[in-house]
Amino acid sequence: MNRKHSVIIGLITGLVVGIIMFVIGLWLRHASEPVLTNAFLLIHAPALGLMSCLHAPAYDWNTNAGLSQVLALFLGYWTLLGTLVGLGWQIILSQRHTSHVA
100 within domain boundaries: no
101 within domain boundaries: no
Domain enclosing residue 63, as ranges:
3-95
102 within domain boundaries: no
Q: Quick count: other Cβ atoms within 10 Å of Cβ 27?
A: 12
28 within domain boundaries: yes
How far apart CA 20 and CA 18 sit, in angstroms, is: 5
Number of independent structural domains in the chain: 1
58 within domain boundaries: yes
One-letter amino acid at 43 equals: I
Write out pLDDT tens, residues 47-87. 877 777 766 666 666 788 778 888 888 898 999 999 999 88
How far apart CA 49 and CA 87 sit, in angstroms, is: 25
Name the residue with higher pLDDT: 90 or 53: 90
Name the residue with higher pLDDT: 48 or 3: 48
Task: Specify whether the CB–CB gap between 94 and 3 falls below 8 A.
Answer: yes
Residue 60: the pLDDT is: 66
Longest CA pairwise span in the chain (Å): 58
How far apart CA 96 and CA 10 sit, in angstroms, is: 19
Residue 41: the pLDDT is: 82
